[in-house]
Amino acid sequence: MYAYLDYNATTPVAEEVKEAMMPWFSEKFWNASSAHYGGRAAIDAVENARQQIADLIGANPTEIVFTSGSTESINLALKGTFSASKPRGSFLTSQVEHKAVLDTTTVLSNQGIDCHLLPVNELGEVQMEQLSNFENSKPALVSFMAANNETGVISDLENLVVHFKENGALFHCDATQAVGKIDFSVEHLNIDMASISGHKIYGPKGVGALYCRRGVTLDSLIDGGGHEKGLRSGTLNVPGIVGFGMAAELASKLLQEDSELFLKLREELLAGLRAELNDTEVIAEDSLRLPNTLNIRFIGADAEAIMANAPSIMVSSGSACTALIPEASHVLVAMGMTQEEASECLRFSVGRHTTLEEIGHAVAEISAAVNRVRELNI
């Protein structure tokens, strides 16, 4: 058997989602921009999905812009803000953000935007006491993730939002990993923009959304027919959007049930590994973390070697978006780990379909692999 413990990378499409999508591939294949009956039916389905997604994050449906996923949403939020704003202020984010934010930051910097990466402490948290060091840069926009995709650490968004909005900055949040796992309300948090993705919440790949609060001005990245209020031109992916909407509705209904299951599975995995292995370290164990995410350092054993010796266990040595790059996690290094220490860490992320049998199999296989790798290093 194999055990899939990489739900932070992607999730399987829920059966209810698949059923909702299927008619829109063939029998209801219509273009949502067409003026005839079929087009009106398609746009009605899109607007229903927009409402479902808005309900999940506490937004107004008019504030939801459909995209191809969180990476595009992040690009639209960050690049679109600075393209539309004159004169420009600075941009602030943290060293532990997803590469979609960090690489976009590099592009903004190359365009002459004053960009700053805020350091984090050993738990991966932005330190509030350091924020005053950056106030002279007069930030126009800041971006902080709701929860880290590698460590599961949940950000103190409430205090960050209050601080930066009091200083006149727009606040964007990469909510990709948080939505569907913990309570997340854009209205409660008072954030201006948030990026989310369908395939992280048991929806299809290739569809996501940007929440953009009414009154926030963005320039589009894609020009064309003026779709999505001119912010994202291109024929709407009706099947994907319908599936995303259904996934959002399911996430709302199952949030508490999922959270309890994830925490039970995560703790079972941790207890099993600790019973079998010495010299393990849970990354950011004392932080508030996502209930499904566990990042462990196996001291004296390279993570890539562990994975090679346990091929039936699907886990990650970092973000799925950078897994093919042979470098230690930038997140863990920013938290103060050395390259060697960071290279000994594996991320486990459980999900809705994880079983106790998979957990037991993972404990046995990972423990055996760690012992083999350690023996080879002696």
Beta pairing partners, 281: 297
- Structure-derived torsion over alpha carbons of residues 324, 326, 331, 335, reported in degrees to the nearest 10: 160
Q: What is the C-alpha to C-alpha distance for residues 61 and 26, in angstroms, rounded to an integer?
A: 27
Beginning with the edge strand found earlier in the chain, give each strand of the sheet holding 293-298 in spatial order.
280-282, 293-298, 345-349
Q: What is the C-alpha to C-alpha distance for residues 153 and 294, in angstroms, rounded to an integer?
A: 10
Residues in the chain, overall count: 378
Pairing relation of β-strands 345-349 and 293-298? antiparallel
Structure tokens at 270: 């941790």
Contact 185, 211 (CB under 8 A): no
Pairing relation of β-strands 170-174 and 193-197? parallel
**Catalytic residue chosen out of the listed positions 115, 173, 321, 345:** 321
Q: Is 212 a catalytic residue?
A: no
Structure tokens at 80: 């679109």
The SS3 call for residue 140 is strand
- Structure-derived torsion over alpha carbons of residues 280, 283, 289, 295, reported in degrees to the nearest 10: -70
In the DSSP assignment, the letter for residue 211 is: E
Helix axes 238-276, 37-57, angle to 10 degrees: 30
Catalogue the long-range contacts made by 307-311 (C-beta closer than 8 Å, 24 or more residues apart).
Answer: 307/346, 307/369, 309/368, 309/369, 309/372, 309/373, 310/365, 310/366, 310/368, 310/369
- H or E stretch at 71: helix 70-84
One DSSP character per residue, 302-368 reads -HHHHHHH-TTEE-BSS-GGGTTS-S--HHHHHTT--HHHHTTEEEEE--TT--HHHHHHHHHHHHH
Q: What is the C-alpha to C-alpha distance for residues 295 and 297, in angstroms, rounded to an integer?
A: 7
Catalytic residue numbers, as ranges:
321
